[in-house]
Structure 1
């Protein structure tokens, strides 16, 4: 079990490194944001709804382990399918916050914005779109 856990940690570290390197370029021009609302409560909803019941599951039998694995895969599929991947509490641990905001860049569009730091009305950011409704942003100073 230790070898499998170590393997998963290494794979996760590799994916994080690849993701960080893929986002080094490609940032937008500086843009202004407005209508900012805090969406950080999504982390707590994720924990309370999905993680806490799974943590307290007894894994003594093979059937329970199989049930736990199926539930984790199903929860992951639901979050990816509904584009709620940004509500993962790991992002909060890494210092990211979630906001809904209107970005003024060649027009106006409302996005779920993931960024480090506090986003306020009139903040100036650079962003990279993750999908049609979600973007990763950094505050421009």
Structure 2
């Protein structure tokens, strides 16, 4: 089994709170209306392409990519927490019960990390 190599190890996080509304709200506000439109013919393809590019640009600019519904389906959870006094968003496959933990993590963007809890 290939283990993930983490950039930063043995870091303490606190004020951990699960964001249970992240993926459903993303799905309801972005994907569902986008998929419900009728895209037929050349004009439909053009509108679909422009809309898709706009959606990707919006996700990239606002760091909403962490709300990926596929991650939710695969069992990953979104958490908000503090590290060194700054607010972070974390993606983790484990259900967290404690309010302060030690983690290993990889930075995805400025304030978004993919992490695992150190047992």
Say yes or no: TM over 0.5. yes
Q: In the alignment, is residue 95 of structure 1 matched against residue 75 of structure 2?
A: yes
Q: 1:86-138 deviations in whole A, cap 9, x for unaligned?
A: 011111112211111012xxx44321111111233122211111222111101
Q: TM-score, normalization: structure 1? A: 0.73
Unaligned residue ranges in structure 2 (runs of 5+): none
- State the distance in 2 between where 1:26 and 1:47 align: 30
SS of residue in 2 equivalent to 1:123: strand
| Structure 1: segments with no counterpart, 5+ residues | 1-20
- In the TM superposition, 1:49-128 aligns within 5 A as 49-103=29-83, 107-119=84-96, 120-128=98-106
Between structures 1 and 2, the one with greater helix share: 1
Q: Which runs of 4+ in 1 moved over 3 A?
A: none
Higher strand share: 2
Describe the SS at the equivalent of 1:117.
coil
Once residues 137 and 25 of structure 1 are traced to their aligned partners in structure 2, the CA distance between those partners, rounded to angstroms, is 11
Q: Which has the higher contact order (CA 8 A, sep 6+)?
A: 2
1:135 corresponds to 2:113: yes
Map of 2:25 onto structure 1 = 45
Considering only aligned residues, what root-mean-square deviation do their CA atoms show, in Å? Answer: 1.9
Give 1:45 shift: 1.4
Instruction: Calculate the TM-score normalised by the size of structure 2.
Output: 0.85
